[in-house]
Structure 1
Amino acid sequence: MTSLFDPLQAGTLHLPNRIVMAPLTRNRAPGAVPTPLMAEYYAQRATAGLLITEATPVSPQGQGYADVPGMYTTEQLAAWRKVTDAVHAQGGRIVVQLWHVGRVSHTSLQPGGQQPVAPSAITAKTKTYLIENGVGSFAPTSEPRALDAAELPGIVQDFRHAARHAVATAGFDGVEIHGANGYLLDQFLKTGANHRQDAYGGSIENRARLLLEVMRAVAGEIGGGRVGLRLSPVTPANDIVDADPQPLFDHVVRELAPLGLAYLHVIEGATGGPREVEGRPFDYVALRKAWRDAGAKGAWMVNNSYDKPLAELSLATGADLVAFGRPYIANPDLVERLRANAPLNTPDRATFYGGGAAGYTDYPALMKG
């Protein structure tokens, strides 16, 4: 039986175990530039089979939260290089999650105080994280404007350029495209946020167009074997909903199959919440079958409130990788703890967003001896 501690080849990524650190936004990059503290944080967790960084905007327009790192300036790339060097020095593998938040933003975070952008001018009934006078707080998102179709090729290029520089300059082993949780690519996919009447709205094929253009551009730039994608078919995160998600996501994974992706990262249920969303049934086994039947060889990564027994069951029933989020906040040595069936540290929720080393790099590891 497949174990969490068995190695796996996912595209070009040789992973020593099946345990993945999921992306976790921590808001500790003032000025959108990674810090030495971030290098320490990721290096502490380098025994994971794969580290996926916190979500990282591909452009200033893609920014939606205060003090998250970017992937679009020379300074950011140089700072990220110190992070990847630190992880690689510990024998780890790390990919960056590339992000455009779309409507989940605030005018104070946008270039020139402009409106956030979205497929349609529909405000997300959610909140974002702002820092004013050194104090962080959550505030309602701003009303967005609808993107003109002529702007969309530029967004595709932003993802392409960020992917190229992430690998060639910043030293990442690959990238994960954030197509989940109600952010821009997910907004285009889903009927609740996309009311367009052009080639990017209406039919499943049209709503999937931008995501697929991004994926083809990125895979064409750095090779599909270095690329993953995160999807969340039914999460209500950030006020997102689709009227009929099963055929939508079946279509998406079939179209992705020829790209030779390293992995597909699927959030089962509500992000950080119940695995079954009331009124939103979804067949993840059927989705994986659609992916495999279309010829996809990439790894199937599952995510959402996994513990060791559930992870082992998932591997036994067809998953290849299991992503752990919150357990990695407080347990830098999660692999070792799971292997030893050791108790887990409890994370301090008050330190999740913003701050310094407290609740970030000061959680204790297991004693050696």
Structure 2
Amino acid sequence: MALQTGLYYPYVHLRDESWAKAAALYWRNLARVVPAGFRVRDNAVVRDLNEGTGFLVNTDPRQAAEAVAPLFVAAVRDNAEALRDRFAVRGRVLAGVAPRLAPTTRSLTGLYPQEVPGELLHALRESGLATLDWRRRTHGSAWVAVDPALAWAYKCAITDELARRTAFTPVTDQVEAHSATGDWTSERIAEVLLDRLAPAVGHEAVEARVAMMAVRCVLPADLRNVPVEKIVRLRTQYADEFVAFAAAVDSAAADVVEVAREVTEHAAFELHLQAAFDLHVAQPLESLRKAINGLKMETISTAFTIKPEATVSGAGLGMLFGGTATAVGAGIAFTALATRQAAARERDALVATSPAGYLLRVEKELKPTTVLRRAVRLVGRTAGVGI
């Protein structure tokens, strides 16, 4: 199944503008967890990415939260003392409030009230793992303040449940020990919270890893300075190439899942991932680059070395204007035109049929152009092969 919709977590707002631009180049849509009544305040870049394309999709987590809550209730009640030793809120400070006695005390973070069903809120407060933050209210309900690590685990579990219900792929711009995907039983919840579970090697959501690797390899270093308009144009103008690219990502992900299904060593898994990426994405991209470059050289050579008199149009114009120089110039012009048109058709066929065609479009559109590269591109366009 080709890449369609990613499921962003653990936050509502996309915090990294460069990451948001990159994500817009490999996800057709990006869903995010937005509880009912939550006021979204996107920055200008995210708003512009979403405008006119419907890139972002809001997903209500209430039903997923209701499904996950009993698992957290069981984990809390079975491990109350151990969890309290690590995540007790007593004596802690709320985010944004300066601590009075212990400046090094880690602050608490807030969960939106609609994300925390009543039974879970009761279990957390009863165990000393949550308190109400009345500084932040939604429709008369206070936010639920908890330890950031507990909030992270809860968000991951909700995201996993949402992914199961929607067939979206969890994706995040945050580097953390545990991913949103996996079997979030009450036992696993306790193991994650108490650091008894080693980080997963990354089998889940392999396609998201491959896609990001692919897009990153052709993006300019200063993506933050790339205008949003260029990102939007790439999304809309090259939809066919995107489909071929998504199919290549799927093939690479399927290879990794098949070969590394039982792999538990992180380094070994990364090697399998890189090998699949090289086979299905990197190598086709390099082959396409070489083919396009070779086409340019061949076309330019043909356009400027063929004898203009060999063409009917060249000979006819020579007789019409009665001048050798004029005939030569006209012959070259008409020959170059015919060669350019043929080369353009061949180039378009190469790009359209290659799984890396979309990536080449991204690379050409977004990388800054120096004076030398502009000159080379001008020659390429004259020959009809500039992308």
Band the TM-score falls in, shorter-chain normalisation: under 0.3
Of Structure 1 and Structure 2, the greater strand share is in 1
Larger Rg: 2
| TM-score, length-scaled by structure 1 | 0.26
Of Structure 1 and Structure 2, the greater helix share is in 2
| TM-score, length-scaled by structure 2 | 0.25
